[in-house]
């Protein structure tokens, strides 16, 4: 069994210290993208990158990039990454361990005096979660050329545009120059991402880590139903144009459609709903809600989306409503590279670790990078499968184990 020079203590210290930035009252974390908390976290992670011997820059999508040059300046980099922004009142492990594991791997390479040909880049992608501007994976979408000018004009709850937020974030980020930060096929040799599972499979089956074979692609929508406001006590039920009842019909149909095939991994989620004007004694004028549909099978996912859209149209006609459907994210399901899966398997075998092959139901930056390079993903067991919550928890021993596996795997490709 190999001895690997990864520092568990340094990993734990970095995770704990980063978790203090944006810490909530119930020990959760709230670091929305391009916020003051995100900037403070970026400064701290930049410091740790420099301590590991990385040269630190930002691209114009706001991605934080630490780079260690290789022996051959003509070779493309091996990239390790994830994100450090969070959902609202989330946990301190989601995304974070992937970035900090990358920094720790570079520490270990330096401390072991390992010579490598390929450059190494450790990346903290900007706004993976989408909790501020409601369309996540911004930094990775940008890196592969999938951001349009209108994406920069999306606004947060305070009517601040993403363009403004990027412009004022600092670090020489210039949203007018995003095309300079796009990378294409051949620009990245391979991409690795370490992440908590965000599900119960590993814990239930007593595995510390799992090797990901593919990532379900999410489609994110903003749906608005517009009716007619009125007094809650004076408008008869049969004369109402109530968008809230229409929304309820649509939401119930989402559940029905996603459960039609009990063997399929299809999931549908409505995580946010808003009524206008929002009075308890007012029939709403409009109701807006989010819709997240995911599946590893693109055709099945698109068929369900089509049926949901048909339901929205049918409900709107029957209830005298007007509807608007806005698709914010449409990510294709991604397969991990067979070559990188085999490398991860070999590393597990060398270290005497049993790791199952599994599918990711959650979306990750890796699925965007899959459009331009080979991707490999490693999952870490998390307690009760809980994520996006202050209750999110992963044991440092499991994170340490995963980082050792990733370290051995990266060495095979640099």
Read off the pLDDT band of 1 (50, 70, 90): low
Strand ranges for 24-130 from DSSP E: 55-58, 64-68, 78-83, 120-125
Please choose, from the candidates 319, 317, 322, the residue with its C-alpha nearest in 3D space to the C-alpha of residue 226. 322
Residues 199-252: tens digit of each pLDDT: 999 999 999 999 999 998 889 899 999 999 999 999 999 999 999 999 999 999
Write the class of the CATH domain 8-216+333-411: alpha beta
Q: DSSP label at 153?
A: G
Residues 167-180, mean pLDDT to the nearest whole number = 96
Q: CA-to-CA distance for 222 and 206, rounded, in angstroms?
A: 38
Q: CA-to-CA distance for 341 and 211, rounded, in angstroms?
A: 7
Give me the percent of the chain exceeding a pLDDT of 90.
90
Output 1 or 409, whichever has higher pLDDT.
409
Give me the percent of the chain exceeding a pLDDT of 70.
99
User: Are the CB atoms for 143 and 183 separated by under 8 Å?
Assistant: yes
Strand ranges for 21-77 from DSSP E: 55-58, 64-68
Q: Which tokens sit at 294?
A: 């995911």
First to last CA, the chain: 22
Give pLDDT, residue 218.
85
Residues 185-210, mean pLDDT to the nearest whole number = 96
Read off the pLDDT band of 2 (50, 70, 90): low
What is the SS3 assignment for 1?
coil
What is the SS3 assignment for 81?
strand
Angle between helix 96-111 and helix 36-51 axes, rounded to 10 deg: 20
Residues 93-109, mean pLDDT to the nearest whole number = 97
Q: CA-to-CA distance for 28 and 24, rounded, in angstroms?
A: 5
Point out which residues pair with 267 in neighbouring strands.
Answer: 294
Domain residue ranges in the chain: 8-216+333-411, 218-330
**What is this structure's pTM?**
0.83
Which residues make Cβ contacts (< 8 Å) with residue 401, sequence separation at least 6? Answer: 208, 209, 351, 353, 380
Q: Do β-strands 322-330 and 282-283 pair in parallel, antiparallel, or remain unpaired?
A: unpaired
Read off the pLDDT band of 3 (50, 70, 90): low
Q: Do β-strands 217-226 and 190-196 pair in parallel, antiparallel, or remain unpaired?
A: unpaired
Q: Which tokens sit at 155?
A: 């606004």
Phi-psi sector, 171: left (phi>0), alpha (psi -120 to 50), beta: left
Query: With helix as H, strand as E and coil as C, how does 340-401 read?
Result: HHHHHHHHHHHHCCCCCEEEECCCCHHHHHCCCCEEEEEEECCHHHCCCCCCCCCCHHHHHH
Residues 70-82, mean pLDDT to the nearest whole number = 95
CATH code reported for the domain at 218-330: 3.30.70.360
Residues 175-187, mean pLDDT to the nearest whole number = 96
H/E run at residue 194: strand 190-196
């Amino acid at each position: 069994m190999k001895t690997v020079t990864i520092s568990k203590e340094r990993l734990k210290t970095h995770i704990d210290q980063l978790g203090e930035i944006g810490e909530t009252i119930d020990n959760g974390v709230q670091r929305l993208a391009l916020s003051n908390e995100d900037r403070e976290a970026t400064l701290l992670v930049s410091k740790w990158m420099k301590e590991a011997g990385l040269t630190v820059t930002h691209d114009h999508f706001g991605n934080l990039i630490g780079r260690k040059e290789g022996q051959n300046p003509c070779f493309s980099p091996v990239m390790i990454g994830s994100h450090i922004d969070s959902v609202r009142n989330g946990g301190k492990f989601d995304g974070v361990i992937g970035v900090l594991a990358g920094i720790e791997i570079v520490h270990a390479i330096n401390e072991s005096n390992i010579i490598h040909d390929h450059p190494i880049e450790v990346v903290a992608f900007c706004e993976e979660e989408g909790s501020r501007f409601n369309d996540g994976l911004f930094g990775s979408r940008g890196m592969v050329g999938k951001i349009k000018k209108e994406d920069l004009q999306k606004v947060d709850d305070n009517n601040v545009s993403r363009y403004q937020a990027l412009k004022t974030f600092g670090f020489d980020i210039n949203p007018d120059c995003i095309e300079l930060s796009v990378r294409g096929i051949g620009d990245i040799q391979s991409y690795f991402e370490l992440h908590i599972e965000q599900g119960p499979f590993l814990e239930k089956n007593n595995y510390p880590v799992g090797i990901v074979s593919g990532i379900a692609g999410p489609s994110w929508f903003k749906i608005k139903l517009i009716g007619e406001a009125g007094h809650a006590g004076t408008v008869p039920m049969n004369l109402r144009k109530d968008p809230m009842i229409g929304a309820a019909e649509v939401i119930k149909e989402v559940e029905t459609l996603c459960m039609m095939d009990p063997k399929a991994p299809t999931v549908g989620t409505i995580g946010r709903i808003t009524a206008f004007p929002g009075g308890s004694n007012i029939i709403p004028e409009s109701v807006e809600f989010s819709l997240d549909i995911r599946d590893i099978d693109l055709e099945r996912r698109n068929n369900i989306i089509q049926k949901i859209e048909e339901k929205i149209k049918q409900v709107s006609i029957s209830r005298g409503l007007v509807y608007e459907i806005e698709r914010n994210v449409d990510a294709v399901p991604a397969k991990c590279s067979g070559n990188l899966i085999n490398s991860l398997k070999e590393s597990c075998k060398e270290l005497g670790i049993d790791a199952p092959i599994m599918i990711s139901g959650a979306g990750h930056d890796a699925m965007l990078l899959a459009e331009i390079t080979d991707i490999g993903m490693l999952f870490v067991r998390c307690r009760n499968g809980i994520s996006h919550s202050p209750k999110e928890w992963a044991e440092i021993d499991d994170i340490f184990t995963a980082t050792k596996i990733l370290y051995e795997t990266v060495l095979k490709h640099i």
